[in-house]
Amino acid sequence: MEENTTFTLNVTHLLEIAKIAARKAGKFLISRLGAAKIEHQKSLHDDLLDTDLEAEKLILTTLKAGTPDIGILSEEAGSDGEHEHYWIVDPLDGSANFQHGSPTFAIAIALVSKKTTIGGIVYIPMRDEMFTAIQHKGAYLNDSRIVVSRIAALDEAIAHVGDPVIDSDKDATNAYITDLSKLTREARRVRMIGTAATDLAYVSCGRADLLINYTPKPWDIEAGKLLLLEAGGKVSIKQYPNDKTLFLYTNGHVHQAAESLLIPTKSKD
């Protein structure tokens, strides 16, 4: 259809609108750093902040005004509008960091067309760093091309990890911690910074060499995963018997070693 062709050809323009939305929300979040209030507890270790909702409103208002024909899937507001082409929005990735006044947080926006992520941004407000990627067109940081690191030995790699604690699921948590302990013994350094979008952006530009994470939530990973793939990285998934998953994101060069360590059984790329 002509409409779909036009949509595809304007991904660059659409991401410019997403950048405007992210910068508006970023400016607001900087003004509220360390001063957020808890609206309610979403789960045992996850609070919904008033700033989550206010940043989300800023982003969604801008996206709906600039791209009225594109649907939205947002972490707090849920799904709205068109389902073939839609935005995935995380208005504040790293809420716990933000609540405690840490500058390590991000905004992530991905663009999905026909079940494929074709564009994405990760914006780190406190550093004014705008990571962008378009499918088959590479990944960029503030308009400069980025590529993954060339580290190929696990004992030379900087590894990032997501939170391994799963609420009310001790078996899954123990399985994740076992994997984490393996990585800790083998990697040069292990870091847990508390924001998956930032983790993926950092692996994409070589500030880290791999990431293991456990969240399948699209607002946490879709924008950053496209960044990583467009920067030359690689992704594998380990499926546990309890229907939980481990996601392995690497620079590609260290992938085989990390996969052998963490995913000795059948995996899917």
Tell me if residue 139 falls in helix, strand or coil.
strand
**Radius of gyration over every alpha carbon of the chain, rounded to an integer in angstroms:** 18
Confidence of residue 246 (pLDDT cuts 50, 70, 90): confident
For the domain made up of 2-146, the CATH class stated in words is: alpha beta
pLDDT averaged over the chain?
A: 88
How far is it, in rounded angstroms, from Cα 240 to Cα 217?
Answer: 17
- Residues whose CB falls within 8 Å of the CB of residue 103, separated by 6 or more in sequence, listed in order: 33, 97, 126, 127
pLDDT tens sequence across 149-179:
999 999 999 999 998 776 667 777 887 888 8
How many residues in the chain? 269
The answer to whether residue 84 scores a pLDDT higher than 60 is yes
Confidence of residue 39 (pLDDT cuts 50, 70, 90): low
User: Long-range contacts for 115-118 (Cβ within 8 Å, ≥24 apart)?
Assistant: 117/88, 117/222, 117/223, 117/225, 117/226, 118/8, 118/11, 118/226
Q: In this predicted model, which residue has the larger pLDDT, 268 or 34?
A: 34
pLDDT tens sequence across 190-239:
999 999 999 999 999 999 999 999 878 899 999 999 999 999 999 998 87
154-262 folds as D-Maltodextrin-Binding Protein; domain 2 (3.40.190)
Q: How many CA atoms lie within 13 A of 199 on its CB side?
A: 29
- The domain spans of the chain are 2-146, 154-262
Question: What predicted TM-score, i.e. pTM, was given to this entire model?
Answer: 0.90
